[in-house]
Amino acid sequence: MTKFLENKLFRYLSVFLFLNSAILPIKSSSDLAAWEISNNGVLELRTKSNSNLKAYFQKANQIYGDRFWVDFPGELKNPRTIKGNGSIKEIRLGKPNNGKTRLVIEFKENTYLKPLTWRMVGLDQNRWRIKLFNPKYSFKKIGEGLVKKREGNNQANQNSNFKKKSNYDYLQLPKVKQNKFSVVIDPGHGGPDPGAIGVGGIRETDVVLEVSKIVKKLLSEKGVKARLTRKNEVDLDLPPRVYFANNMDADIFVSIHANASRGKRRDINGLETFYYRGWRGRLLAKKIQKQILRVSPGSPDRGVKQGRFYVIKNTRMPAVLVEVGFLTGRLDARRLEKATHRKRLAYAIAKGILEYLNKVG
């Protein structure tokens, strides 16, 4: 659960964040709008909305000190170097190749960095944050532009277009054959077992029950027979959930959960979907994972994985367990506590299910 990214440290630490970025014209201007390293060692970035960034770390060699850099789509106009202070030697803004922008932060020798713990977190569709170091000596903030600037007219328009488009998408849930399919939705935990407890006391059981109910409603509206394993705060063991689905001979089983990280780390966020066996289970997981990521920009894609959870292992039909985000994560928790986001997640899950039924059913 906390192993995220650790196996990806090779020579670089890659913090790949895949978003729904549009394909940009080759000569578009840089996606980097503003950056700032504050005196507590945190780098903040403001970019175009839903920009597709890539972050890297490389250990010092004969030529350079330890370096962290971020690549942005869009071309930088004026490459430049900015002198650092404290632990930072210098900051370079460059053009690694045409149509790209690279922000490089080079550290001084003997700066004690812990890149294994680094996580770049999307604060919003256009803002990013990563803690790079703990200043040993005083560090004076460096930056260009306003990272917290309110979006200008142009961006606001883009944003409302984005919203309109997504709302429109939601209304376009795929059609499936009426009264043909039956689906069991399983809201995780319940009753005396609240599941994960997150930032500000937000409880997994509440989040997943609400999401599940909306999924059920949306599926019903599409002529799918959808049933919940629990409708309220009751203590429901795992075997009855499985029995319910097997007995009903449901076409698919979808268990909905929210994550918590060990030690309640605020920097761990992301979505993942598990299946236990079969290409159908995997396909269902993929369809759902793709949709929930679309409504959670900036939150890492932890992928579609095989998992041995009781409810997906013992159900006889294609079955998945969805983790809709980390209640302990700074980015995810802030979203999961909002009813609008829970609704979006429900739409996304319903859409994934309907796409699957359309393809396989």
The residue from 74, 188, 198, 325 that contacts Zn ion (CB under 5 A) is 188
Length of the chain: 361
Q: For the chain, how long is the longest CA-to-CA vector?
A: 68
CB of 310 to Zn ion, least distance (A): 12
Place of tokens 């959670």: 296
Output 127 or 342, the one with its CB closest to Zn ion. Answer: 342
Place of tokens 């983790």: 323
Q: How far apart are CA 28 and CA 35, in angstroms?
A: 19
Q: How far apart are CA 139 and CA 208, in angstroms?
A: 43
CB of 257 to Zn ion, least distance (A): 3
CB of 189 to Zn ion, least distance (A): 6
The residue type at 42: V
Question: Which of 122-130, 185-193, 280-288, 308-316 is the region at the interface with Zn ion (rule: CB under 5 A)?
Answer: 185-193
Place of tokens 């999924």: 215
For Zn ion, which residue has the nearest CB? 257
| 3-state secondary structure (DSSP) of residue 301 | strand
Confirm or reject binding of residue 198 to Zn ion (CB under 5 A): no
CB of 346 to Zn ion, least distance (A): 17
CB of 196 to Zn ion, least distance (A): 6
The residue type at 325: G
CB of 272 to Zn ion, least distance (A): 12
- Residue 203 phi/psi, 5-degree rounding, is -110, 135
Output 70 or 258, the one with its CB closest to Zn ion. Answer: 258
Kindly list the distances between the CA atom of residue 93 and the CA atoms of 34, 234, 305, in Å, as whole numbers in the listed order: 12, 56, 38
The residue from 84, 190, 195, 270 that contacts Zn ion (CB under 5 A) is 195
Output 106 or 272, the one with its CB closest to Zn ion. Answer: 272
Output 162 or 310, the one with its CB closest to Zn ion. Answer: 310
What is the residue-wise DSSP string for 31-51? SEEEEEE-TTSEEEEEESTT-
Q: How far apart are CA 355 and CA 344, in angstroms?
A: 16
Question: Which of 60-68, 116-124, 257-265, 340-348 is the region at the interface with Zn ion (rule: CB under 5 A)?
Answer: 257-265
Question: Which of 55-63, 86-94, 190-198, 313-321 is the region at the interface with Zn ion (rule: CB under 5 A)?
Answer: 190-198
Closest CA to 199 of 323, 336, 299, 296: 336
Confirm or reject binding of residue 302 to Zn ion (CB under 5 A): no
Q: How far apart are CA 29 and CA 151, in angstroms?
A: 17
Closest CA to 87 of 102, 68, 63: 68
Confirm or reject binding of residue 190 to Zn ion (CB under 5 A): no
The residue from 230, 257, 286, 287 that contacts Zn ion (CB under 5 A) is 257
Output 86 or 325, the one with its CB closest to Zn ion. Answer: 325
- For Zn ion, the binding residues (CB under 5 A) are 188, 195, 257
